[in-house]
Structure 1
Amino acid sequence: MNMLPTKRSMLLGVLLIQAPLLYADASKAFTALQHGRVDEAEQSLRTILAATPNDAYAHQLLCRVFYAQEQAEKAVAECEAAVAAAPNDSVDLMWLARAYGQKASHAGPIAGYSLGKKVGQTFKRAVEADPSNLDAVNDLGEFYTQAPGIVGGGVDKARPLVDTLQSRSPGKAHRLLAYIAESSGDSPTAEAEFKKAIDAGHTTDAYMDLGNFYEMHHKPDQAFAAVNAGLAADREHGPPLMDAATILIAAKRGQDIAERALSDYLSSPNQTDEAPVFKAHVILGKLLAKRGDNAGAQREFAAARALAANFSAARDASKGA
């Protein structure tokens, strides 16, 4: 009997040895991404993809690494690779749609039209692949209420999604109804629906949605009150704290509260790439610079660069402070 290992068996052995190591690298990359360490995450993901080029999850995470840094071209390429490897994965499709949207926001009219259509079509595919993916349902609903009809938008398309959300997340259903009303020019109903979203769960997110609504309607005092109510209800110190700071800055109210919200987020265990940590450092640095604390501002900008060396806003802020 020939006891020498075949090339196939040797390859299988190598793959079996690599598998747990690559899984550990993916877990490490995800954790790094959640805490804003995007340079570290990218390095881990490059290692995985060098060994397994068709790893859909690694491509999705790398897409999110670039998306967080607003590098839309690279984000689209990685998310397209993820979807090519796993065509019916709802989360991969959702992130691809988001990447298309980010790219569209910086594109000219012709390219923007083509990308805008892709955004809606891809969000729709994400929902069809998994109707229980409420983030995708929510994103598709927002697209329908905000995009022009020429690229597939329309409030009539959003209304059926309310029922999908209502049975699983009444707060999200009221939020979508608020967007539908706002898109239809019915601001009083939009305000009422945002308040119903708060009543449905008293989540910090819901208060921030109301605060953002008031800020967009040039009602800074009401925005300030909504944000403060949301911060009082906050128990997790997660991404809504960045929303709070952004709203307060736009409303020109409560800079000290905005600074505290950002500091709380930066020390929180509940950070996610939904609110990139390096962006929080940049926003806090700009607040500190505004009140004359240039040394503190530079520390924040340096912290951002240490996490995301290629994030242009951190470099630009450092030069301007």
Structure 2
Amino acid sequence: MVRFICIFLFSSISFSQSNMERARSFMDIKEYEQAEEEMLKYLEAQPNDSKALELLGDAYSYQKEWDKAIEQYEILVEKVPDKANYHYKYGGALAMKAQSGSKLEALGLIGAMKRSFLNAVALDPAHIDAHWALVDLYVTLPGIVGGSFSKALKYADSLEKISEVDGYLAKGYIYEYDEEPKLAEKYYKLAIRVGGSVTCYDKLTGFYEAQNQPIEAISTLEKGQQKHQRNAMHYQIGKVCADYNIQLDKGEKCLKAYLANYAVTDGVPKEWAYYRLAQIYKHRKNKEKALEYIDKALAIRADFKQALKEKLLISKI
């Protein structure tokens, strides 16, 4: 009997472990529903496994099932109160629920969100994501419910000590939100000088587009493309050219380069590049070529709303 029990327990543990491995595999390939199923099976046998509870919470988060994710992360915070990342994930799920719900519901979540992120930073002063969460929270909240640019800058200063480039990006974000464009531009440029990642170039480009400065946006993208050789930047250059009806030859060349070198990992589907080429030919009053490219976009996705609208505009040339 003892031997039978030992064999049974060993089999149960092995079975559970295989559930965990399958769940991780499903997470890797973004099959989150299947990962959820495997984790629920695993937790039937191992209900106190913190890593499994976290993985289940992550699976719910990727599916945007915020209430279920909050429940899992809350269990983790109560079980392991000294782990910063659990507090961060709990606060993050609360924040996402606040964004997707009503304003009244969001107001009721602010206190718990703030406590979670502050706890994460207190437990791990080098937690970059928690610092960013606090920056974002204090920037976007109205002053009447706790928003504060000075507090946001305080956490950006702390972030700068941990990661100089993140600190500069955070300050650029704060000053852009506070409508201080010169300071925002200064810090985004510092981030490029210090870090120079694709993200840094994207942030400065987005800033220039928001400021209606397309020439500066294109110049920034060209420098980023020269440094990183990212095909996605070809699309971004073409997009700005098409949106603002400027440097159309350059835009056409970049969009065709994007299509010639396209890979799924580039992020923007091919139909969008065809759509932008159609815009460029519309600007040139070349109705035939514009229709050719808009039809290529619609051949890939017949319900492409922007392309359908653009085709109507092209037909009126």
Shorter-chain TM-score above 0.5: yes
* More displaced 10-residue stretch of structure 1: 101-110 or 48-57: 48-57
Which amino acid is 2:2 matched to?
P
What is the CA–CA distance in structure 1 between the aligned matches of 2:47 and 2:174, rounded to whole Å?
42
What is the CA–CA distance in structure 1 between the aligned matches of 2:241 and 2:148, rounded to whole Å?
30
Pairs within 5 Å for 1:38-187? 38-187=32-181
- Computed over aligned residues only, the root mean square deviation of the Cα atoms, in angstroms, reads 3.8
Would the aligned equivalents of 1:249 and 1:258 in 2 still touch at CA under 8 Å?
no
2:194 alignment partner, one of 184, 197, 200: 200
Tell me what 2:300 maps to: 296
Would the aligned equivalents of 2:234 and 2:255 in 1 still touch at CA under 8 Å?
no
Tell me what 2:269 maps to: 284
Tell me what 2:288 maps to: none
What is the CA–CA distance in structure 1 between the aligned matches of 2:62 and 2:24, rounded to whole Å?
18
| Corresponding residue SS for 1:202 | coil
Q: Which of 1 and 2 has higher RCO (CA within 8 Å, sep 6+)?
A: 1
TM-score by length of 2: 0.70
| Corresponding residue SS for 1:105 | helix
Would the aligned equivalents of 1:288 and 1:297 in 2 still touch at CA under 8 Å?
no
2:31 alignment partner, one of 26, 37, 40: 37
What is the CA–CA distance in structure 1 between the aligned matches of 2:304 and 2:47, rounded to whole Å?
36
TM-score by length of 1: 0.70
Would the aligned equivalents of 1:145 and 1:155 in 2 still touch at CA under 8 Å?
yes
* More displaced 10-residue stretch of structure 1: 115-124 or 52-61: 52-61
What is the CA–CA distance in structure 2 between the aligned matches of 1:193 and 1:114, rounded to whole Å?
34
Structure 1's 42 and 147: CA in aligned 2 closer, same or farther, altered over 3 A? same
Tell me what 2:311 maps to: none
Tell me what 1:276 maps to: none
1:188 alignment partner, one of 164, 177, 182: 182
Structure 1: 5+ residue runs without aligned partners? 268-279, 299-315
Would the aligned equivalents of 2:259 and 2:273 in 1 still touch at CA under 8 Å?
no
| Corresponding residue SS for 2:125 | coil
| Structure ID, larger Rg | 2
**Structure with greater helix percent:** 2
Would the aligned equivalents of 1:181 and 1:189 in 2 still touch at CA under 8 Å?
yes
Which amino acid is 1:25 matched to?
R
Q: How many residue pairs get matched?
A: 279
Which amino acid is 1:61 matched to?
L
Structure 1's 54 and 249: CA in aligned 2 closer, same or farther, altered over 3 A? farther
Identity of aligned pairs, percent? 23
Matched, 1:215 2:209: yes
CA apart distance, 1:7:
9.4
Would the aligned equivalents of 1:97 and 1:118 in 2 still touch at CA under 8 Å?
yes
What is the CA–CA distance in structure 1 between the aligned matches of 2:265 and 2:67, rounded to whole Å?
28
Runs (4+) of structure 1 moved beyond 6 Å? Answer: 243-248
